[in-house]
Amino acid sequence: MIRGVLLAASRSARARELVVATGPTRRVVDRFVAGERPADALDVVRGLAADGIAATVDRLGESGVDLASARESTDGYLALLDLAEDVGLAAGLDVSVKLSALGRLVPYGGLKICYENAAEICARAAEVGATVTVDAEEHTSVDAGLAVLADLRRDFPATGAVLQSYLRRTENDCRRLAGAGSRVRLCKGAYRAAGDVAFTRRADVDASYARCLGVLMTGEGYPMVATHDPRMLALAGRLADARDRDRDDFEYQLLHGVRPHEQLRLASLGAQVRVYLPYGPDWYPYLLRRMAERPANLALFLRALRTR
């Protein structure tokens, strides 16, 4: 119930105005968001690299329905990649993009626009030795997202997909995307949908995650295991062992600010670990989705509002 309210609030302009005006302290935003500027994000990337942890950087902003905001978002990613190259952090860096931020929702031609913008980012990423992963959004956008991804992968085969285990279709999507050269991030899904398309009970989402993980680990692609769930992290390790996957044949991905000790522990065991690092002033919907995932995060947020 709370989860549903928070996810609805993450899409509500009125709720956004109220929360931003009340203003949680910087402390709570900073826990999950790397700062406002590309330089802030790259400072965190440098710190992670010192601990043997890679990053995928997300420029926050996902509701643009006009050409200008799609352009601004694209330019923001290009500037980030330029700066990463200048400061020697581009090689091995990944950027996570949301097609909605790149123009998917622009009326008339939105898909073409987001494809062109994403291709521009992929081209710059390839020049500097970085990669791009296309985030998954609401279930209604999955077909469009996978179609754009297939187009991108023709010219930029390293472009990564994201699949969400809460959707009933995802096990099949895993089968289709588990081929050689394919990078697939598996997450549970930060959105909600009705029972005809989605699993609505946590246990079913988890069981689906385990099945999807099995498919990806058995395939020939590069699985990116995006979860903080200790059972799923352990399962990924066991499946990798059983399938004779080397440590650099898959990676764990966790969110910035979530289970930092576990991130370090996995890296210290020699596993590939990548942290999802959002930055930018438009932190509101991202933060609300993190609150929806975990009551403890919500408590932190409410305390921060009260103590202002």
Catalytic residue among 185, 206, 274, 282: 185
228 labeled binding residue: yes
Helix (H, G, I), strand (E, B) or coil at 78: helix
185 among known catalytic residues: yes
Q: Is 189 annotated as a binding residue?
A: yes
Q: Which is nearer to ligand FDA, 82 or 169 (CB)?
A: 169
Nearer CB in complex with ligand FDA: 74/208: 208
112 in a known ligand binding site: no
Q: How far is the CB of 224 from ligand FDA (least distance, A)?
A: 7
Minimal distance, residue 67 CB to ligand FDA, in Å = 24
- Choose the catalytic residue: 58, 94, 135, 173: 135
* Min dist. Cβ of residue 231 to ligand FDA (A): 8
User: Which has the closest alpha carbon to 134: 101, 171, 181?
Assistant: 101
97, amino acid identity: V
Tell whether 227 is in a known binding site.
Answer: yes
Spatial strand order of the sheet with 183-187 comes to 131-134, 94-97, 54-59, 273-279, 251-255, 222-226, 183-187, 161-164
CA 95 vs. chain centroid, Å, equals 9
Closest CA to 117 of 67, 158, 159: 67
Nearer to ligand FDA, 70 or 292 (CB): 292
Q: Which is nearest to 146 in space by CA: 157, 161, 156?
A: 161
Q: Which residues bind ligand FDA (CB under 6 A)?
A: 135-136, 162, 164, 187-191, 226-230, 253-255, 258-259, 276, 293-294, 297
Tell me how far CA of residue 189 lies from CA of 147, 155, 165, 212, in angstroms.
19, 28, 6, 13
- Is 241 considered catalytic here? no
124 or 290, CB closer to ligand FDA? 290
272 annotated as a binding-site residue: no
- Please tell me the distance from the alpha carbon of residue 31 to that of residue 38, in angstroms, as a whole number: 17
Residue 169 CB coordination number (10 Å)? 14
Min dist CB 191 to ligand FDA, Å, is: 5
Binding residues for FAD: 164, 188-190, 227-228
Active site residues: 135, 185
Annotated binding site for substrate: 98, 289-290
